[in-house]
Structure 1
Amino acid sequence: MKRLGRSPLPAVAAILFALAAAGCGLDADGGAGSGEAPRPFEGHSITLVTGSHPWADVIKPLLPRFEAETGMSVRVQSFFEDQLTQKLTVQFTSGSETPDVFMYRPLQEGKLFYRNGWLQPLDGYAGREADYDLSDFTPQSLRSSTVDGVLTGIPIITEQGILYYRKDLLREAGIPVPRTLEELADAAGKLHRPEKGVYGFVARGQRSPLVTQVSSFLYSEGGDFTSGSRATINTPEAVKAFTMYGSLLRDYGPPGAIHMSWPQASSFFAEGRAALYTDANSIYKMTSDPARSEAADQVGYAAFPAGSKGSRPYNITSWGLAVNAKSADKEAAWAFIEWATGKTTMLQSQRQGIPSPRSSLWNTREGTAGFPAQLAEVFKRSLTGGVDHDRPTTVNVAEAREPVGEIVQKVMTGETDIQKTADAANAALQAILDKEAE
């Protein structure tokens, strides 16, 4: 295939926007009509692999117009989240040139994929067209997608830690929305009425899944998982944060909380069985589903409560798009990403309730229309603050999450010497870091 220089996709994106705004259709033969820009990728074909995610559901119906305007053919394959990682690992290990473009989780697979040589660096592509406006992406989202100083993917979905609460229960008890972690614990105790079927607090309690959510507690108390190459999950700040999270679930959480990941915790809250819930703002639709609860219209949203170091929730890229380093047509692959992550296309996904990393979209009525008004305000306030990771930033993330989760679960089960547990867990995490540094 011929190689192209500077990508003409900003112009193509503008044409797509103009067509959509004017309600223009395509010619009967599927072309863009006379007088339109030439099709810059005529005859090119790429393979796109996605996760089974609402973002993919938004993008797929838009592809025919993209293909008509560019001349590019996009073959789409979709997999469930666990299958996706396995599929990509098998193909990349074999040196496959496909897929050309794929969804991935930067903080889960980014460092592993990049150091294995599977991710094409994108700094040169993303910075060459002023109209693309890379500076419009939040700094935290770009840092989440950067490994060893290299931009390895483009953010498509962001999420931040927030507080969900029951408006009616707080109002009836005369309790203001908690603004600090101390107020959160106090409110959870006062609202804890298991005899009436309502628990004070719910959150993820499974060992690995809880790590991302306890991170906001950790940062807000001034701690982190690591400092440089040193594990720091046994510091006073870390022990305080882990103890608070574990104690909330132990004292005010539902039976079986230790087995809950986000689907179970969000469903429990959505059913009206918990007063307070901390988790990602990106799953808000799960918490206010009227088909699950008569209290769905009573769900409120607030910024993550402040710890001793303020409110410092995670603010991350949960999903990004990347280019296979072995792709035979990297220009076409980038052209697709440039379109899919441009302002016009991202507005389409954000209007469907998918939070984008582009700051400008949050300052428009169209950009916030897909979210409850209160949640949109929380999104806007959380967009530029927080911490750019929600788990240990290692190559073997799955292994590194285990020691952290163990500390919290020991609190949940009533362990009294948490410092001893934290010291052992810290040594385990340090061993993982040392092995990666060899």
Structure 2
Amino acid sequence: MQGITRRQALQAGAAAIAAPALVERAGAQGGFDWRRFRGERIEVTVQLSPRGQFLQRHNAEFEELTGIKVGLEVVPEQQHRQKIIVEYASGRPSFDVTEISLHVNKRQVGKARWNTDIRALLADPSLTAPDFDFDDYGKGMVTYATQSDGRLDSCPAGADYFILYYNKALFEAAKLEVPTTWDAMQETAKRLADPSKQVYGHVGRGLKNANVVLWSSYLLGTAQRDMIDANRQLITDTPDAVWAGETYRRFIRDLSPPGSIGFNWNECQTTFMQGRAAMWVDGIGFAAPLEDKARSRVAGRVGYAVVPKGPGPQHHCALFGAGYGIPEASKKKGPAWFYIQWALGKRNQLEWLTSAAGVPARSSPFRNEEAIGKSHFPREFFQTLEASAKIARAGLPEIVPVTQFRDVIGTALTNTLGGADVAAELKRATAEFRPILEQSERES
């Protein structure tokens, strides 16, 4: 993404990153002392990603601003998830700040009460900078970072909203409007399909495990919305769940390319990028490769919209994301909170977006006119992000055995593509997974 420079972004920030003495004076004048914990050292561990690499590149800025030394560790995603759980469970984690994959580890971390509730830190004006503006975070991400008992045990970091990608050229040639409901999307997909030219109305994930997040996107549009009830019981074989399963089957089996039963996101991306699919519902992170003129035939002709509405009273899109937390066992909670404020403040979150490092959890970057003007993404992209932030809801149940859940339900969905009855498959899968969930809920 062609974004504004860091120098330009810094000009819009609260305090210039300058010599320590100058920063100290600026903090004092502003009534907030960024150098309160100078001389301290903290350990930070995050996943290897463009966001983690961004923090690596700018680590010296935080150290200069605060006088706090940071040992920053960037670890590949799967290894990172395993590492932090092992260390949490030991009772002596080596880190003071860590990234949490909310769609994978939220329930596990929250149930064990491994992280600090940051609400007290947010309420303390001596510990929270006046321009941190927690209200700037999207409602969906704040809910996502909050545990069922009300504890806010991580600060929202990065978001992955499921959106509707559409091929503008195909829509314009057919003189069709972008659908706003799932039913309308099915009819539109039928009209845009031209198998003789290997063009299909839709493409989506059909592969076991990967397919669950598409099914959940349909379920979020019903009156049910969740996959477990208030008593933590599995409810994936209800009439709404069956409707979502039947909708999933129609889109994949009847409206997508042959072989879609084996498609994960990469096959979907390739199909859409070659101009062979009119519509695709998936994560916002695929926008960058789709707009890459060196790789994509549809670059410059990609449309963006919020996911269509379902039959339920609410309109939601699936949400996946990450937060940054402070272990309860950390003895450096103050310095750790300063780091999180810097890492996830408005300035850095804006640059995540403008440098294509990721989609921020904050909403203000999507309205930044300078960023919009200098980006090769259309205004529609930013509008879709902002609108999605307001309607986002967790795309997977907040449970510990989430990978097993995706395997079991994903197998059922795959079976329906081969002709199996949707209601029977979901009933079987629900019965199979229910004792797994109940056992995980009983374990401490």
TM-score bracket for the superposition, by shorter chain length:
0.7 to 0.9
1:114 corresponds to 2:110 = yes
Distance 1:34 1:90, change over 3 A: closer
Q: Does the Cα contact within 8 Å between 1:161 and 1:281 map onto a contact in 2? A: yes
1:242 to 227, 245, 256: 245
Distance 1:92 1:33, change over 3 A: closer
Please report the RMSD computed on the Cα atoms of aligned residues, expressed in angstroms.
Answer: 2.7
Write out aligned runs for 1:335-350 (5 A). Answer: 335-350=338-353
Q: How many Å separate the matches in 2 of 1:278 and 1:385?
A: 15
1:76 to 60, 67, 72: 72
Instruction: Report the alpha carbon displacement of residue 193 of structure 1 after superposing the two structures with TM.
Output: 2.8
Q: How many Å separate the matches in 2 of 1:317 and 1:200?
A: 26
**Which residue of 2 is the match for residue 425 of structure 1?**
429
Q: How many Å separate the matches in 2 of 1:198 and 1:363?
A: 35
Instruction: Report the alpha carbon displacement of residue 182 of structure 1 after superposing the two structures with TM.
Output: 1.4
**Which residue of 1 is the match for residue 30 of structure 2?**
none
Q: How many Å separate the matches in 1 of 2:51 and 2:16?
A: 25
Instruction: Report the alpha carbon displacement of residue 20 of structure 1 after superposing the two structures with TM.
Output: 7.0
Q: Does the Cα contact within 8 Å between 1:215 and 1:391 map onto a contact in 2? A: yes
Q: Which shifted more, 95-104 or 35-44?
A: 35-44
Q: Does the Cα contact within 8 Å between 2:219 and 2:244 map onto a contact in 1? A: yes
1:362 corresponds to 2:369 = no
Cα-to-partner distance string for 1:154-201 (whole Å, 9 max, x where unaligned): 111123221111111122223221221112112222333333232221
Instruction: Report the alpha carbon displacement of residue 413 of structure 1 after superposing the two structures with TM.
Output: 1.7
Counterpart amino acid of 1:356? P
Distance 1:59 1:368, change over 3 A: farther
1:304 corresponds to 2:307 = yes
Q: Does the Cα contact within 8 Å between 1:362 and 1:380 map onto a contact in 2? A: yes
1:379 to 385, 410, 420: 385
Q: How many Å separate the matches in 1 of 2:283 and 2:265?
A: 9
Q: How many Å separate the matches in 1 of 2:441 and 2:15?
A: 56
Q: Does the Cα contact within 8 Å between 2:211 and 2:264 map onto a contact in 1? A: yes
Distance 1:153 1:317, change over 3 A: farther
1:396 corresponds to 2:401 = yes
**Which residue of 1 is the match for residue 146 of structure 2?**
146
1:226 to 224, 228, 237: 228
Q: How many Å separate the matches in 1 of 2:378 and 2:369?
A: 12
1:351 to 349, 354, 358: 354
Q: Does the Cα contact within 8 Å between 1:146 and 1:152 map onto a contact in 2? A: yes
Counterpart amino acid of 1:69? L
Counterpart amino acid of 1:380? E
Unmatched segments (≥5 aa) in structure 2:
1-7, 28-32
**Which residue of 2 is the match for residue 198 of structure 1?**
199
Distance 1:93 1:193, change over 3 A: same
Q: Which shifted more, 331-340 or 290-299?
A: 290-299
SS in 1 for 2:220: helix
Q: How many Å separate the matches in 2 of 1:34 and 1:247?
A: 61
**Which residue of 1 is the match for residue 163 of structure 2?**
162
SS in 2 for 1:182: helix
**Which residue of 2 is the match for residue 7 of structure 1?**
none
Q: How many Å separate the matches in 1 of 2:50 and 2:199?
A: 31
Q: Does the Cα contact within 8 Å between 2:218 and 2:248 map onto a contact in 1? A: yes
**Which residue of 2 is the match for residue 12 of structure 1?**
none
Instruction: Report the alpha carbon displacement of residue 25 of structure 1 after superposing the two structures with TM.
Output: 6.9
SS in 2 for 1:212: helix
Counterpart amino acid of 2:386? K
Distance 1:44 1:260, change over 3 A: farther
Cα-to-partner distance string for 1:81-139 (whole Å, 9 max, x where unaligned): 21211222232233333121111111210111222343222221123237233233222
Cα-to-partner distance string for 1:202-256 (whole Å, 9 max, x where unaligned): 1222222222232221121323312222322111111111111122111222343
Distance 1:18 1:312, change over 3 A: closer
**Which residue of 2 is the match for residue 322 of structure 1?**
325
Q: Does the Cα contact within 8 Å between 1:272 and 1:296 map onto a contact in 2? A: no
Instruction: Report the alpha carbon displacement of residue 310 of structure 1 after superposing the two structures with TM.
Output: 5.8
Q: Does the Cα contact within 8 Å between 1:192 and 1:199 map onto a contact in 2? A: yes
Q: Does the Cα contact within 8 Å between 1:162 and 1:303 map onto a contact in 2? A: yes
Instruction: Report the alpha carbon displacement of residue 21 of structure 1 after superposing the two structures with TM.
Output: 6.4
Q: How many Å separate the matches in 1 of 2:218 and 2:14?
A: 48
Q: Does the Cα contact within 8 Å between 2:216 and 2:318 map onto a contact in 1? A: no
**Which residue of 1 is the match for residue 264 of structure 2?**
261
Q: How many Å separate the matches in 2 of 1:118 and 1:317?
A: 21
1:59 corresponds to 2:61 = no
Instruction: Report the alpha carbon displacement of residue 317 of structure 1 after superposing the two structures with TM.
Output: 5.2
Q: Does the Cα contact within 8 Å between 1:198 and 1:272 map onto a contact in 2? A: yes
Counterpart amino acid of 1:282? G
Q: Does the Cα contact within 8 Å between 1:351 and 1:366 map onto a contact in 2? A: no
Write out aligned runs for 1:406-425 (5 A). Answer: 406-415=411-420, 417-425=421-429
1:87 corresponds to 2:83 = yes
Q: Which shifted more, 350-359 or 61-70?
A: 350-359
Unmatched segments (≥5 aa) in structure 1:
1-15
Instruction: Report the alpha carbon displacement of residue 24 of structure 1 after superposing the two structures with TM.
Output: 6.6
Q: Does the Cα contact within 8 Å between 1:161 and 1:304 map onto a contact in 2? A: yes
Instruction: Report the alpha carbon displacement of residue 319 of structure 1 after superposing the two structures with TM.
Output: 1.2
1:128 corresponds to 2:131 = no
